[in-house]
Structure 1
Amino acid sequence: MTRTVQARGIPSLRSWSGVEVALAAVLLALAGISWLLSAVLGMPEMRMGLLTGTGQAEMSGGPAPFALFLAVWVVMMAAMMLPAITPFTIGVSRLVRARRKRGVLPSLTLGYLLVWTAAGVAAWAILRGFDAIDHSGTSVRVGAVVLLVAGAYEFSPLKRWCLVRCRSPLALVVKHGDTVVRGRLGLGALRVGVHHGGYCLGCCWALMVVLLAVGAMNLLWMAVLAAVIAMEKVLPRAEIVSSALGAVLIGAGVVLLIAPGLLAPMA
Protein backbone atom coordinates (compact mmCIF):
# COMPACT_ATOMS: atom_id res chain seq x y z
CA MET A 1 0.00 0.00 0.00
CA THR A 2 2.75 2.44 0.95
CA ARG A 3 4.61 1.88 -2.31
CA THR A 4 1.43 2.45 -4.29
CA VAL A 5 0.69 5.68 -2.48
CA GLN A 6 4.25 6.93 -2.84
CA ALA A 7 4.25 6.03 -6.54
CA ARG A 8 1.29 8.34 -7.03
CA GLY A 9 3.33 11.11 -5.47
CA ILE A 10 1.42 11.20 -2.19
CA PRO A 11 4.06 10.85 0.53
CA SER A 12 3.39 8.40 3.32
CA LEU A 13 2.32 10.18 6.50
CA ARG A 14 5.19 8.50 8.35
CA SER A 15 7.68 10.20 6.05
CA TRP A 16 6.34 13.72 6.55
CA SER A 17 8.75 16.16 8.16
CA GLY A 18 7.74 18.71 10.76
CA VAL A 19 7.68 21.41 8.09
CA GLU A 20 5.37 19.31 5.90
CA VAL A 21 3.04 18.58 8.83
CA ALA A 22 2.92 22.31 9.55
CA LEU A 23 2.18 23.05 5.89
CA ALA A 24 -0.66 20.52 5.86
CA ALA A 25 -1.99 22.01 9.09
CA VAL A 26 -2.01 25.49 7.53
CA LEU A 27 -3.92 24.27 4.47
CA LEU A 28 -6.44 22.41 6.59
CA ALA A 29 -6.82 25.43 8.88
CA LEU A 30 -7.52 27.62 5.85
CA ALA A 31 -10.08 25.05 4.71
CA GLY A 32 -11.70 25.13 8.15
CA ILE A 33 -11.89 28.92 8.09
CA SER A 34 -13.40 28.72 4.62
CA TRP A 35 -16.09 26.35 5.89
CA LEU A 36 -16.96 28.83 8.65
CA LEU A 37 -17.06 31.70 6.17
CA SER A 38 -19.27 29.62 3.86
CA ALA A 39 -21.77 29.24 6.70
CA VAL A 40 -21.68 32.96 7.50
CA LEU A 41 -21.56 34.45 4.01
CA GLY A 42 -23.93 32.10 2.26
CA MET A 43 -26.79 33.89 0.55
CA PRO A 44 -30.23 32.39 1.34
CA GLU A 45 -31.06 31.94 -2.34
CA MET A 46 -27.92 29.80 -2.73
CA ARG A 47 -28.89 27.29 -0.05
CA MET A 48 -31.62 25.69 -2.16
CA GLY A 49 -31.78 24.69 -5.79
CA LEU A 50 -33.78 22.95 -8.47
CA LEU A 51 -33.91 19.69 -6.51
CA THR A 52 -34.28 21.04 -2.98
CA GLY A 53 -36.75 23.90 -3.38
CA THR A 54 -36.27 27.48 -4.47
CA GLY A 55 -35.03 30.23 -2.23
CA GLN A 56 -37.27 33.06 -1.11
CA ALA A 57 -35.57 35.35 -3.60
CA GLU A 58 -34.04 34.62 -6.94
CA MET A 59 -30.47 35.57 -7.79
CA SER A 60 -30.59 39.19 -8.95
CA GLY A 61 -28.41 40.35 -11.82
CA GLY A 62 -25.86 43.13 -11.93
CA PRO A 63 -22.18 43.61 -11.02
CA ALA A 64 -22.62 43.73 -7.23
CA PRO A 65 -24.51 40.40 -6.85
CA PHE A 66 -22.10 38.77 -9.30
CA ALA A 67 -19.06 40.02 -7.36
CA LEU A 68 -20.56 38.78 -4.08
CA PHE A 69 -21.38 35.41 -5.61
CA LEU A 70 -17.86 35.05 -7.02
CA ALA A 71 -16.30 35.88 -3.66
CA VAL A 72 -18.48 33.33 -1.89
CA TRP A 73 -17.79 30.77 -4.63
CA VAL A 74 -14.01 31.08 -4.14
CA VAL A 75 -14.45 30.63 -0.39
CA MET A 76 -16.55 27.52 -1.07
CA MET A 77 -13.94 26.06 -3.40
CA ALA A 78 -11.21 26.70 -0.84
CA ALA A 79 -13.30 24.87 1.77
CA MET A 80 -13.96 21.89 -0.50
CA MET A 81 -10.68 21.59 -2.41
CA LEU A 82 -7.79 22.61 -0.14
CA PRO A 83 -7.84 19.33 1.84
CA ALA A 84 -7.78 17.35 -1.43
CA ILE A 85 -4.74 19.21 -2.82
CA THR A 86 -2.67 18.88 0.37
CA PRO A 87 -0.72 15.83 -0.94
CA PHE A 88 0.15 17.68 -4.15
CA THR A 89 1.33 20.68 -2.17
CA ILE A 90 3.50 18.46 0.04
CA GLY A 91 5.08 16.96 -3.11
CA VAL A 92 5.91 20.41 -4.47
CA SER A 93 7.18 21.45 -1.05
CA ARG A 94 9.72 18.63 -1.13
CA LEU A 95 10.83 19.65 -4.60
CA VAL A 96 11.33 23.32 -3.80
CA ARG A 97 13.10 22.60 -0.53
CA ALA A 98 15.45 20.21 -2.33
CA ARG A 99 16.25 23.02 -4.79
CA ARG A 100 16.47 25.55 -1.94
CA LYS A 101 13.76 27.65 -3.50
CA ARG A 102 11.28 29.49 -1.30
CA GLY A 103 8.13 31.51 -1.66
CA VAL A 104 6.42 29.47 -4.39
CA LEU A 105 3.74 27.63 -2.42
CA PRO A 106 1.37 30.63 -2.08
CA SER A 107 1.62 31.12 -5.86
CA LEU A 108 0.86 27.42 -6.36
CA THR A 109 -2.33 27.63 -4.31
CA LEU A 110 -3.28 30.92 -5.97
CA GLY A 111 -2.94 29.36 -9.43
CA TYR A 112 -5.20 26.50 -8.35
CA LEU A 113 -7.85 28.88 -7.01
CA LEU A 114 -7.67 31.05 -10.13
CA VAL A 115 -8.98 28.11 -12.15
CA TRP A 116 -11.92 27.70 -9.79
CA THR A 117 -12.53 31.46 -9.83
CA ALA A 118 -12.90 31.28 -13.61
CA ALA A 119 -15.25 28.33 -13.12
CA GLY A 120 -17.30 30.57 -10.84
CA VAL A 121 -18.15 32.77 -13.83
CA ALA A 122 -19.70 29.74 -15.55
CA ALA A 123 -21.41 28.76 -12.29
CA TRP A 124 -23.05 32.21 -12.13
CA ALA A 125 -24.39 31.79 -15.66
CA ILE A 126 -25.75 28.34 -14.79
CA LEU A 127 -27.50 29.67 -11.68
CA ARG A 128 -29.05 32.47 -13.70
CA GLY A 129 -30.32 29.85 -16.13
CA PHE A 130 -31.75 27.78 -13.29
CA ASP A 131 -33.58 30.88 -12.00
CA ALA A 132 -35.32 31.24 -15.37
CA ILE A 133 -36.84 27.76 -15.11
CA ASP A 134 -40.44 27.34 -14.01
CA HIS A 135 -40.11 26.12 -10.41
CA SER A 136 -42.53 23.24 -10.55
CA GLY A 137 -42.26 19.74 -11.92
CA THR A 138 -40.22 21.24 -14.77
CA SER A 139 -37.41 22.23 -12.41
CA VAL A 140 -37.28 18.68 -11.05
CA ARG A 141 -36.97 17.25 -14.55
CA VAL A 142 -34.17 19.68 -15.39
CA GLY A 143 -32.45 18.68 -12.16
CA ALA A 144 -32.89 15.03 -13.14
CA VAL A 145 -31.14 15.71 -16.45
CA VAL A 146 -28.29 17.34 -14.52
CA LEU A 147 -27.96 14.17 -12.44
CA LEU A 148 -28.00 11.99 -15.56
CA VAL A 149 -25.31 14.05 -17.29
CA ALA A 150 -23.13 14.11 -14.17
CA GLY A 151 -23.57 10.36 -13.69
CA ALA A 152 -22.69 9.60 -17.30
CA TYR A 153 -19.60 11.82 -17.06
CA GLU A 154 -18.29 9.66 -14.21
CA PHE A 155 -17.88 6.84 -16.75
CA SER A 156 -16.37 8.99 -19.51
CA PRO A 157 -12.76 8.67 -20.75
CA LEU A 158 -12.18 12.40 -20.11
CA LYS A 159 -13.13 12.00 -16.46
CA ARG A 160 -10.75 9.05 -16.06
CA TRP A 161 -7.97 10.88 -17.93
CA CYS A 162 -8.24 13.94 -15.67
CA LEU A 163 -8.60 11.83 -12.53
CA VAL A 164 -5.42 9.87 -13.25
CA ARG A 165 -3.46 13.12 -13.52
CA CYS A 166 -5.18 14.61 -10.50
CA ARG A 167 -4.30 11.52 -8.46
CA SER A 168 -0.67 11.53 -9.64
CA PRO A 169 0.67 14.92 -8.57
CA LEU A 170 4.24 13.60 -8.70
CA ALA A 171 3.97 13.33 -12.48
CA LEU A 172 3.02 17.00 -12.69
CA VAL A 173 5.77 17.98 -10.26
CA VAL A 174 8.40 16.07 -12.22
CA LYS A 175 7.18 17.39 -15.57
CA HIS A 176 7.06 21.01 -14.45
CA GLY A 177 9.67 20.94 -11.71
CA ASP A 178 12.04 23.29 -13.51
CA THR A 179 9.15 25.64 -14.19
CA VAL A 180 8.42 25.83 -10.47
CA VAL A 181 11.93 26.51 -9.27
CA ARG A 182 13.10 28.75 -12.11
CA GLY A 183 10.05 30.95 -12.50
CA ARG A 184 10.53 34.48 -11.22
CA LEU A 185 8.20 35.99 -8.63
CA GLY A 186 6.46 32.65 -8.24
CA LEU A 187 5.12 32.69 -11.82
CA GLY A 188 6.36 29.17 -12.45
CA ALA A 189 4.49 27.86 -9.42
CA LEU A 190 1.43 29.86 -10.50
CA ARG A 191 1.46 28.10 -13.88
CA VAL A 192 1.79 24.68 -12.25
CA GLY A 193 -1.09 25.51 -9.90
CA VAL A 194 -3.20 26.41 -12.92
CA HIS A 195 -2.27 23.09 -14.57
CA HIS A 196 -3.28 21.12 -11.50
CA GLY A 197 -6.45 23.16 -11.08
CA GLY A 198 -7.35 22.41 -14.70
CA TYR A 199 -7.11 18.67 -14.11
CA CYS A 200 -9.18 19.03 -10.94
CA LEU A 201 -11.82 21.04 -12.79
CA GLY A 202 -11.90 18.34 -15.45
CA CYS A 203 -12.63 15.80 -12.72
CA CYS A 204 -15.20 17.75 -10.76
CA TRP A 205 -17.09 20.18 -13.01
CA ALA A 206 -20.12 17.91 -13.34
CA LEU A 207 -20.31 17.44 -9.57
CA MET A 208 -20.19 21.21 -9.15
CA VAL A 209 -23.23 21.54 -11.44
CA VAL A 210 -24.98 18.96 -9.25
CA LEU A 211 -24.09 21.12 -6.25
CA LEU A 212 -25.70 24.13 -7.96
CA ALA A 213 -28.82 22.05 -8.58
CA VAL A 214 -29.17 20.96 -4.93
CA GLY A 215 -28.04 24.24 -3.39
CA ALA A 216 -24.56 25.72 -3.80
CA MET A 217 -24.34 26.94 -0.20
CA ASN A 218 -26.02 23.92 1.35
CA LEU A 219 -23.31 22.87 3.81
CA LEU A 220 -24.55 19.27 3.97
CA TRP A 221 -24.28 18.77 0.20
CA MET A 222 -20.98 20.65 0.14
CA ALA A 223 -19.61 18.23 2.74
CA VAL A 224 -20.92 15.17 0.87
CA LEU A 225 -19.36 16.23 -2.43
CA ALA A 226 -16.10 17.29 -0.74
CA ALA A 227 -15.85 13.82 0.83
CA VAL A 228 -16.50 12.13 -2.52
CA ILE A 229 -13.88 14.29 -4.26
CA ALA A 230 -11.33 13.49 -1.55
CA MET A 231 -12.05 9.76 -1.83
CA GLU A 232 -11.62 9.85 -5.61
CA LYS A 233 -8.23 11.49 -5.20
CA VAL A 234 -6.85 9.47 -2.28
CA LEU A 235 -8.34 5.96 -2.14
CA PRO A 236 -6.38 3.24 -4.00
CA ARG A 237 -9.29 2.21 -6.28
CA ALA A 238 -10.75 5.56 -7.29
CA GLU A 239 -12.48 4.05 -10.31
CA ILE A 240 -14.75 2.11 -7.95
CA VAL A 241 -15.77 5.35 -6.22
CA SER A 242 -16.41 7.04 -9.58
CA SER A 243 -18.44 4.12 -10.91
CA ALA A 244 -20.53 3.85 -7.75
CA LEU A 245 -21.16 7.59 -7.76
CA GLY A 246 -22.07 7.52 -11.45
CA ALA A 247 -24.53 4.70 -10.90
CA VAL A 248 -26.18 6.52 -7.97
CA LEU A 249 -26.52 9.76 -9.94
CA ILE A 250 -27.93 8.01 -13.02
CA GLY A 251 -30.35 6.00 -10.88
CA ALA A 252 -31.58 9.11 -9.08
CA GLY A 253 -31.93 10.95 -12.39
CA VAL A 254 -34.00 8.18 -13.94
CA VAL A 255 -36.30 7.99 -10.90
CA LEU A 256 -36.91 11.75 -10.93
CA LEU A 257 -37.57 11.80 -14.67
CA ILE A 258 -40.19 9.08 -14.24
CA ALA A 259 -41.68 10.46 -11.03
CA PRO A 260 -40.91 14.20 -10.67
CA GLY A 261 -43.72 14.44 -8.15
CA LEU A 262 -41.38 12.93 -5.57
CA LEU A 263 -39.73 16.34 -5.27
CA ALA A 264 -42.23 18.63 -6.94
CA PRO A 265 -43.91 19.61 -3.67
CA MET A 266 -40.52 20.89 -2.46
CA ALA A 267 -39.74 22.86 -5.66
Structure 2
Amino acid sequence: MTSRAGSRGVPLPGSLSGTELLLAVVLLAFAALAWLLSHSLATPGMRLGILTGARPMAPSGFEWARFGFFLLTWLVMMTAMMLPGITPFTIGMSRLLRVRRAGTGSIPALFVGYLLAWLLTGVAAYACLRAFDALAVSGSATAARSGAAVLVAAGVFQFTPLKQWCLVHCRSPMALLMRHGQRAVRSRRGALLVGCGHGAYCIGCCWALMVVLLAAGMMSLVWMAGVAAVITVEKVLPHGRQSSYAIGALLLGAGLVLLVFPELVGAVA
Protein backbone atom coordinates (compact mmCIF):
# COMPACT_ATOMS: atom_id res chain seq x y z
CA MET A 1 0.00 0.00 0.00
CA THR A 2 1.48 3.30 -0.99
CA SER A 3 1.29 6.57 0.84
CA ARG A 4 -0.95 7.86 -1.91
CA ALA A 5 -3.78 5.59 -0.84
CA GLY A 6 -5.74 5.18 2.34
CA SER A 7 -5.71 2.08 4.50
CA ARG A 8 -8.57 0.58 2.49
CA GLY A 9 -6.89 1.09 -0.86
CA VAL A 10 -8.75 4.18 -2.04
CA PRO A 11 -6.95 7.41 -2.96
CA LEU A 12 -6.69 10.08 -0.30
CA PRO A 13 -8.03 13.54 -1.24
CA GLY A 14 -4.59 15.11 -1.00
CA SER A 15 -3.10 12.56 -3.42
CA LEU A 16 -5.45 13.25 -6.32
CA SER A 17 -4.03 14.43 -9.62
CA GLY A 18 -5.75 17.15 -11.59
CA THR A 19 -7.47 14.60 -13.83
CA GLU A 20 -8.65 12.56 -10.83
CA LEU A 21 -9.92 15.68 -9.10
CA LEU A 22 -11.86 16.59 -12.24
CA LEU A 23 -13.35 13.07 -12.33
CA ALA A 24 -14.45 13.42 -8.70
CA VAL A 25 -16.05 16.79 -9.45
CA VAL A 26 -17.89 15.36 -12.47
CA LEU A 27 -19.21 12.38 -10.48
CA LEU A 28 -20.39 14.57 -7.62
CA ALA A 29 -21.99 16.99 -10.10
CA PHE A 30 -23.93 14.08 -11.60
CA ALA A 31 -25.03 13.14 -8.08
CA ALA A 32 -26.21 16.71 -7.39
CA LEU A 33 -28.14 16.73 -10.67
CA ALA A 34 -29.75 13.41 -9.71
CA TRP A 35 -30.90 14.90 -6.39
CA LEU A 36 -32.55 17.77 -8.28
CA LEU A 37 -34.21 15.33 -10.70
CA SER A 38 -35.44 13.23 -7.77
CA HIS A 39 -37.21 16.28 -6.40
CA SER A 40 -38.70 17.08 -9.81
CA LEU A 41 -39.88 13.56 -10.63
CA ALA A 42 -41.40 12.77 -7.25
CA THR A 43 -45.19 12.78 -7.05
CA PRO A 44 -46.85 13.49 -3.68
CA GLY A 45 -47.71 9.81 -3.28
CA MET A 46 -44.08 8.77 -3.82
CA ARG A 47 -42.99 10.89 -0.87
CA LEU A 48 -45.07 8.81 1.56
CA GLY A 49 -44.93 5.19 2.66
CA ILE A 50 -46.56 2.85 5.13
CA LEU A 51 -44.34 4.36 7.84
CA THR A 52 -45.47 7.90 7.02
CA GLY A 53 -49.22 7.58 6.53
CA ALA A 54 -49.44 6.69 2.84
CA ARG A 55 -52.90 6.29 1.34
CA PRO A 56 -53.71 3.48 -1.11
CA MET A 57 -52.96 4.43 -4.70
CA ALA A 58 -55.85 4.50 -7.12
CA PRO A 59 -55.99 1.61 -9.61
CA SER A 60 -54.47 2.40 -12.99
CA GLY A 61 -54.92 0.78 -16.36
CA PHE A 62 -51.39 1.77 -17.37
CA GLU A 63 -49.41 -0.62 -15.17
CA TRP A 64 -46.52 -0.96 -17.58
CA ALA A 65 -46.22 2.81 -17.88
CA ARG A 66 -46.25 3.09 -14.12
CA PHE A 67 -43.58 0.39 -13.86
CA GLY A 68 -41.42 2.17 -16.43
CA PHE A 69 -41.74 5.47 -14.59
CA PHE A 70 -40.83 3.73 -11.35
CA LEU A 71 -37.66 2.27 -12.89
CA LEU A 72 -36.69 5.72 -14.17
CA THR A 73 -37.16 7.32 -10.78
CA TRP A 74 -35.41 4.39 -9.07
CA LEU A 75 -32.36 4.80 -11.30
CA VAL A 76 -32.24 8.55 -10.68
CA MET A 77 -32.60 7.96 -6.96
CA MET A 78 -29.80 5.38 -6.89
CA THR A 79 -27.55 7.76 -8.80
CA ALA A 80 -28.22 10.47 -6.25
CA MET A 81 -27.69 8.25 -3.21
CA MET A 82 -24.88 5.94 -4.30
CA LEU A 83 -22.66 7.98 -6.61
CA PRO A 84 -20.89 9.94 -3.84
CA GLY A 85 -20.04 6.70 -2.04
CA ILE A 86 -18.43 5.05 -5.08
CA THR A 87 -16.41 8.09 -6.13
CA PRO A 88 -13.22 6.87 -4.31
CA PHE A 89 -13.61 3.43 -5.90
CA THR A 90 -14.03 4.96 -9.36
CA ILE A 91 -10.95 7.14 -8.91
CA GLY A 92 -8.93 4.15 -7.72
CA MET A 93 -10.03 2.17 -10.76
CA SER A 94 -9.23 5.07 -13.10
CA ARG A 95 -5.71 5.17 -11.64
CA LEU A 96 -5.28 1.44 -12.23
CA LEU A 97 -6.61 1.68 -15.77
CA ARG A 98 -4.32 4.60 -16.57
CA VAL A 99 -1.22 2.82 -15.23
CA ARG A 100 -2.02 -0.28 -17.28
CA ARG A 101 -2.86 1.78 -20.37
CA ALA A 102 -6.42 0.56 -20.75
CA GLY A 103 -8.55 1.78 -23.63
CA THR A 104 -10.86 4.77 -23.41
CA GLY A 105 -14.41 4.27 -22.24
CA SER A 106 -13.59 1.90 -19.37
CA ILE A 107 -14.57 4.33 -16.61
CA PRO A 108 -18.00 5.12 -18.14
CA ALA A 109 -18.50 1.36 -18.58
CA LEU A 110 -17.62 0.82 -14.91
CA PHE A 111 -20.12 3.48 -13.86
CA VAL A 112 -22.85 2.06 -16.13
CA GLY A 113 -22.25 -1.44 -14.77
CA TYR A 114 -22.67 -0.24 -11.20
CA LEU A 115 -25.94 1.52 -11.99
CA LEU A 116 -27.13 -1.45 -14.06
CA ALA A 117 -26.85 -3.68 -11.00
CA TRP A 118 -29.02 -1.25 -9.04
CA LEU A 119 -31.46 -0.85 -11.93
CA LEU A 120 -32.10 -4.61 -11.94
CA THR A 121 -33.00 -4.44 -8.24
CA GLY A 122 -35.71 -1.94 -9.25
CA VAL A 123 -37.86 -4.88 -10.36
CA ALA A 124 -37.84 -6.32 -6.83
CA ALA A 125 -38.26 -2.83 -5.38
CA TYR A 126 -41.38 -2.28 -7.49
CA ALA A 127 -42.88 -5.57 -6.29
CA CYS A 128 -42.11 -4.51 -2.72
CA LEU A 129 -43.77 -1.14 -3.27
CA ARG A 130 -46.89 -2.78 -4.69
CA ALA A 131 -47.04 -5.01 -1.62
CA PHE A 132 -46.85 -1.91 0.58
CA ASP A 133 -49.72 -0.40 -1.43
CA ALA A 134 -51.80 -3.47 -0.64
CA LEU A 135 -50.97 -3.12 3.05
CA ALA A 136 -52.07 0.53 2.98
CA VAL A 137 -55.52 -0.70 1.85
CA SER A 138 -55.73 -2.86 4.99
CA GLY A 139 -55.85 0.14 7.28
CA SER A 140 -53.45 2.46 9.05
CA ALA A 141 -52.76 0.19 12.05
CA THR A 142 -51.95 -2.80 9.85
CA ALA A 143 -49.77 -0.68 7.58
CA ALA A 144 -47.97 0.84 10.57
CA ARG A 145 -47.26 -2.54 12.16
CA SER A 146 -46.06 -3.85 8.80
CA GLY A 147 -43.71 -0.89 8.54
CA ALA A 148 -42.54 -1.61 12.08
CA ALA A 149 -41.80 -5.19 11.04
CA VAL A 150 -39.70 -3.82 8.16
CA LEU A 151 -37.68 -1.76 10.65
CA VAL A 152 -37.16 -4.77 12.91
CA ALA A 153 -36.09 -6.98 10.00
CA ALA A 154 -33.68 -4.32 8.74
CA GLY A 155 -32.27 -3.92 12.25
CA VAL A 156 -31.71 -7.67 12.60
CA PHE A 157 -30.00 -7.80 9.19
CA GLN A 158 -27.41 -5.28 10.39
CA PHE A 159 -26.04 -7.95 12.74
CA THR A 160 -25.90 -10.83 10.24
CA PRO A 161 -22.67 -12.26 8.76
CA LEU A 162 -23.97 -11.52 5.23
CA LYS A 163 -24.31 -7.84 6.04
CA GLN A 164 -20.85 -7.66 7.51
CA TRP A 165 -19.28 -9.64 4.65
CA CYS A 166 -20.79 -7.32 2.04
CA LEU A 167 -19.88 -4.27 4.11
CA VAL A 168 -16.23 -5.33 4.23
CA HIS A 169 -16.16 -5.49 0.42
CA CYS A 170 -17.94 -2.14 0.11
CA ARG A 171 -15.47 -0.53 2.51
CA SER A 172 -12.45 -2.14 0.83
CA PRO A 173 -12.95 -1.82 -2.93
CA MET A 174 -9.23 -2.43 -3.49
CA ALA A 175 -9.94 -6.14 -2.97
CA LEU A 176 -12.24 -6.01 -5.99
CA LEU A 177 -9.66 -4.01 -7.92
CA MET A 178 -6.91 -6.52 -7.21
CA ARG A 179 -9.08 -9.52 -8.03
CA HIS A 180 -10.88 -8.25 -11.12
CA GLY A 181 -8.88 -5.22 -12.24
CA GLN A 182 -7.21 -7.07 -15.10
CA ARG A 183 -10.64 -7.89 -16.55
CA ALA A 184 -11.48 -4.19 -16.56
CA VAL A 185 -8.18 -3.38 -18.25
CA ARG A 186 -8.77 -5.83 -21.11
CA SER A 187 -12.08 -4.42 -22.39
CA ARG A 188 -15.01 -2.12 -21.75
CA ARG A 189 -17.13 -5.23 -21.25
CA GLY A 190 -14.77 -6.29 -18.47
CA ALA A 191 -15.08 -2.85 -16.84
CA LEU A 192 -18.86 -3.15 -17.10
CA LEU A 193 -18.75 -6.50 -15.29
CA VAL A 194 -16.47 -5.14 -12.56
CA GLY A 195 -18.93 -2.29 -12.02
CA CYS A 196 -21.76 -4.81 -11.78
CA GLY A 197 -19.74 -6.79 -9.24
CA HIS A 198 -19.14 -3.79 -7.02
CA GLY A 199 -22.82 -2.90 -7.33
CA ALA A 200 -23.77 -6.42 -6.22
CA TYR A 201 -21.75 -6.04 -3.02
CA CYS A 202 -23.42 -2.69 -2.35
CA ILE A 203 -26.85 -4.21 -2.94
CA GLY A 204 -26.06 -7.03 -0.52
CA CYS A 205 -25.00 -4.46 2.05
CA CYS A 206 -27.83 -1.93 1.60
CA TRP A 207 -30.93 -3.80 0.41
CA ALA A 208 -32.62 -3.78 3.83
CA LEU A 209 -32.07 -0.04 4.18
CA MET A 210 -33.65 0.43 0.76
CA VAL A 211 -36.73 -1.49 1.88
CA VAL A 212 -36.92 0.87 4.86
CA LEU A 213 -36.76 3.78 2.40
CA LEU A 214 -39.62 2.28 0.37
CA ALA A 215 -41.64 1.96 3.57
CA ALA A 216 -40.88 5.55 4.61
CA GLY A 217 -41.31 7.28 1.23
CA MET A 218 -38.90 6.44 -1.56
CA MET A 219 -38.79 9.88 -3.18
CA SER A 220 -38.88 11.97 -0.05
CA LEU A 221 -35.66 13.98 -0.07
CA VAL A 222 -35.60 13.88 3.74
CA TRP A 223 -35.75 10.09 3.92
CA MET A 224 -33.41 9.72 0.94
CA ALA A 225 -30.88 11.95 2.66
CA GLY A 226 -31.25 10.04 5.92
CA VAL A 227 -30.67 6.64 4.33
CA ALA A 228 -27.84 8.01 2.16
CA ALA A 229 -26.19 9.40 5.31
CA VAL A 230 -26.47 6.00 7.03
CA ILE A 231 -24.91 4.27 4.00
CA THR A 232 -22.09 6.82 3.89
CA VAL A 233 -21.36 6.38 7.60
CA GLU A 234 -21.13 2.62 7.15
CA LYS A 235 -19.00 2.70 4.00
CA VAL A 236 -16.68 5.66 4.53
CA LEU A 237 -16.18 6.56 8.19
CA PRO A 238 -13.91 4.56 10.55
CA HIS A 239 -15.31 1.67 12.61
CA GLY A 240 -17.81 0.57 9.98
CA ARG A 241 -18.87 -2.58 11.84
CA GLN A 242 -19.58 -0.70 15.06
CA SER A 243 -21.52 1.92 13.11
CA SER A 244 -23.52 -0.84 11.44
CA TYR A 245 -24.39 -2.39 14.80
CA ALA A 246 -25.43 0.99 16.23
CA ILE A 247 -27.68 1.63 13.23
CA GLY A 248 -29.15 -1.85 13.64
CA ALA A 249 -29.94 -1.16 17.29
CA LEU A 250 -31.70 2.10 16.38
CA LEU A 251 -33.78 0.37 13.70
CA LEU A 252 -34.71 -2.43 16.08
CA GLY A 253 -35.68 0.01 18.81
CA ALA A 254 -37.82 2.13 16.48
CA GLY A 255 -39.51 -0.96 15.04
CA LEU A 256 -40.35 -2.42 18.44
CA VAL A 257 -41.81 0.90 19.63
CA LEU A 258 -44.04 1.13 16.54
CA LEU A 259 -45.18 -2.48 16.94
CA VAL A 260 -46.51 -1.56 20.39
CA PHE A 261 -47.70 1.95 19.48
CA PRO A 262 -48.70 1.92 15.77
CA GLU A 263 -50.67 5.14 16.26
CA LEU A 264 -47.33 7.00 16.38
CA VAL A 265 -47.20 6.69 12.57
CA GLY A 266 -50.28 8.87 12.28
CA ALA A 267 -48.86 11.35 14.77
CA VAL A 268 -45.60 11.67 12.83
CA ALA A 269 -47.33 11.82 9.43
Global fold match (TM > 0.5): yes
In structure 1, the residue matched to 2:107 is 105
The one-letter amino acid of 2:18's match is G
Equivalent residues of 1:45, 1:59 under 8 A apart: no
Q: Does 1:161 align with 2:165?
A: yes
Q: How far has the Cα of 1:233 moved from its partner?
A: 0.9
Alignment of 1:228-239 (within 5 A): 228-239=230-241
Equivalent residues of 2:48, 2:218 under 8 A apart: yes
The one-character-per-residue Cα deviations of 1:27-72 (angstroms, maximum 9, x if unpaired) are 0000000000000001221100001011474474611000001000
Q: Secondary structure at the match of 1:7?
A: coil
Alignment of 1:1-267 (within 5 A): 6-55=6-55, 57-58=57-58, 60=60, 62-101=63-102, 102-133=104-135, 134-183=138-187, 186-264=188-266
Equivalent residues of 1:44, 1:56 under 8 A apart: no
Q: With structure 2 as the length reference, what TM-score do the two structures score? A: 0.94
Q: Secondary structure at the match of 1:50?
A: coil
Q: Secondary structure at the match of 1:84?
A: helix
Equivalent residues of 1:47, 1:55 under 8 A apart: no
CA RMSD of aligned residues (A): 1.7
Query: How far apart, in 2, do the equivalents of 1:18 and 1:181 lie?
Result: 22
The one-character-per-residue Cα deviations of 1:98-120 (angstroms, maximum 9, x if unpaired) are 01222101110111011111111
Equivalent residues of 2:8, 2:172 under 8 A apart: yes
Query: How far apart, in 2, do the equivalents of 1:22 and 1:135 lie?
Result: 51
Identity score, percent: 56
Equivalent residues of 1:231, 1:238 under 8 A apart: yes
Stretches (4+) displaced over 3 A: 2-5, 55-61, 264-267
Query: How far apart, in 1, do the equivalents of 2:132 and 2:267 lie?
Result: 18
Q: With structure 1 as the length reference, what TM-score do the two structures score? A: 0.95
Distance 1:220 1:207, change over 3 A: same
Q: How far has the Cα of 1:205 moved from its partner?
A: 0.1
Count residues with an aligned counterpart: 264
For structure 2, the residue ranges without an aligned partner over 5 or more in a row are: none
Q: Secondary structure at the match of 1:72?
A: helix
Equivalent residues of 2:5, 2:15 under 8 A apart: no
Distance 1:3 1:51, change over 3 A: farther
Distance 1:204 1:3, change over 3 A: farther
The one-character-per-residue Cα deviations of 1:148-197 (angstroms, maximum 9, x if unpaired) are 000000111000000001111111011111100112xx100000000000
Query: How far apart, in 2, do the equivalents of 1:149 and 1:206 lie?
Result: 8
